[in-house]
Amino acid sequence: MPEGDTLFRTAAGLRPHLVGRTVGAASARQPGPQADRIVGATVTGVEAQGKNLLIRFDNGLEVRTHLGMHGSWHRYRPGEPWRRPPARARLVIEVPGAVAVCFDAPTVELFEQRAEALHPNLRRLGPDLLVDPFDLDEALRRLRDASRPPTIGEALLDQRALAGIGNEVRNQSLWEARVSPFLPVEAVDDATLRSLVERSMAILREGARTGRRRSDIHGRSGRPCPRCRTPIRSEAYGGDLPRIAYWCPSCQPDPREDVPTGA
Ligand SMILES: [Zn+2]
Q: For residue 70, tell me if it sits in a domain.
A: yes
Distance of CA 112 from the midpoint of ligand 1 (Å): 49
Distance of CA 169 from the midpoint of ligand 1 (Å): 17
- Least confident segment among 87-96, 144-153, 179-188: 144-153
Tens-digit pLDDT profile for residues 54-113: 999 999 999 999 999 899 999 999 999 999 999 999 999 999 999 999 999 999 999 999
The catalytic residues are 2-3, 51, 243
Looking at residue 146, its pLDDT comes to: 77
Distance of CA 1 from the midpoint of ligand 1 (Å): 24
Distance of CA 232 from the midpoint of ligand 1 (Å): 8
Question: Where among 118, 146, 171 does a domain terminate?
Answer: 118
- 33 has a pLDDT exceeding 50: yes
- 259 has a pLDDT exceeding 90: no
Distance of CA 206 from the midpoint of ligand 1 (Å): 23
Q: For residue 124, tell me if it sits in a domain.
A: no
- Least confident segment among 58-62, 71-75, 157-161, 254-258: 254-258
Q: Based on the domain organization, do 94 and 142 belong to the same domain?
A: no
The model carries a pTM of 0.87
Q: For residue 68, tell me if it sits in a domain.
A: yes
Residue 100 sits in which domain range? 4-118
Distance of CA 110 from the midpoint of ligand 1 (Å): 46
Q: Based on the domain organization, do 15 and 78 belong to the same domain?
A: yes
pLDDT band at 131 (very low <50, low <70, confident <90, very high): very high
The full DSSP string for the chain is ---HHHHHHHHHHHHHHHTT-B--EEEEPSSS--GGGGTTPBEEEEEEETTEEEEEETTSEEEEEE-TTT-EEEEE-TTPPPSS-GGGEEEEEEETTEEEEEES-SEEEEEEGGGGGG-TTTTT---BTTSSSP-HHHHHHHHH-TTS-SBHHHHHH-TTTSBS--HHHHHHHHHHHT--TTSBGGGS-HHHHHHHHHHHHHHHHHHHHHS----SSTT-TTSBPTTT-PBPEEEEE-TTS-EEEEE-TTTS--GGGPPP---
